[in-house]
Homo-oligomer: A and B are copies of this chain.
Amino acid sequence: MAYQNSPYGGYGGPGGFSSGMAQAGLPPGADPQLWSWFSAVDTDRSGAISAIELERALINGDWTPFDLDTVKLLMGMFDVDRSGTIGFNEFCGLWKYIKDWQNVFRYFDRDRSGTIDRNELRDALSRFGYNLSPPLIKLIQVKYASNVASNYGPALGITFDRFVRACVVIKQLSGAFQNLDTDNDGWVQISYDQFMQTVLSLP
């Protein structure tokens, strides 16, 4: 399969779909470019994209595949009819979402390294409105980095797929906390069950 000619793939790109070209069966009114990407990802020509097909199609800028957890996050968001697959209309939403995140990632990856380092992460989260302490920023960097922490070796960097997941997790967690914090004093009372449910609902 000719899966090398991605406009977003290649070293230094933020990541996204790797894809060839396929134009057969264009539905009336559909964007031909989007349809060609959709058809290229739908390798078994079933008319819908399975999680496995999506996992195979999504690559980071350094050619590593997306984490299963990020693929599941995307399936959960865009498989609107809960069929277990992504139809063409659902794909259009997914495509736009990834394109928007690519722009965000490119913007904050100031040194064009292909990963988000700690300063870039701090800037991104601050721009999103999260005022997090330096120890929290460090925790997020260590948790979502695509390599492990060591006393030497390359700095911890977050690839595109894990950056998206990190941002979604922080948004979801902060939102859940705010909903509980009805008097807005930065403290909440929470039961074991609520606590577990909040955390286990994260992607």
* 30 A-B pairs in the complex with CB atoms less than 8 angstroms apart: A51-B147, A51-B148, A67-B68, A67-B69, A69-B69, A71-B148, A72-B148, A82-B151, A84-B148, A84-B149, A84-B150, A132-B196, A135-B197, A136-B193, A136-B196, A139-B197, A139-B201, A143-B202, A173-B195, A173-B199, A174-B196, A177-B192, A181-B192, A186-B191, A186-B192, A187-B189, A187-B191, A188-B190, A188-B195, A199-B202
Instruction: Count A interface residues, CB 8 Å.
Output: 49
Give the CA-CA distance A200 to B144 in the complex, in Å.
9
Give the CA-CA distance A150 to B148 in the complex, in Å.
33
Give the CA-CA distance A77 to B167 in the complex, in Å.
26
- Residue A39 lies at the interface, judged by CB distance under 8 Å to chain B: no
Give the CA-CA distance A177 to B195 in the complex, in Å.
8
A89-139 interface with B by 8 A CB criterion: 132-133, 135-136, 139
The 5 closest A-B pairs by CB, nearest first: A84-B150, A139-B200, A51-B148, A75-B148, A186-B192
Q: Which of A186, A199, A200, A201 has the most CB of B within 10 A?
A: A200
- Residue A34 lies at the interface, judged by CB distance under 8 Å to chain B: no
A binding-site residues for B, Cβ under 8 Å: 51, 67-69, 71-72, 75-76, 79, 82-85, 132-133, 135-136, 139-140, 143, 146-153, 169-170, 173-174, 177, 181, 186-193, 195-197, 199-202
Q: Which of A72, A132, A151, A173 has the most CB of B within 10 A?
A: A72
Give the CA-CA distance A169 to B187 in the complex, in Å.
23
Give the CA-CA distance A187 to B195 in the complex, in Å.
9
Task: List the B side residues contacting A68 at CB < 8 Å.
Answer: 67, 146
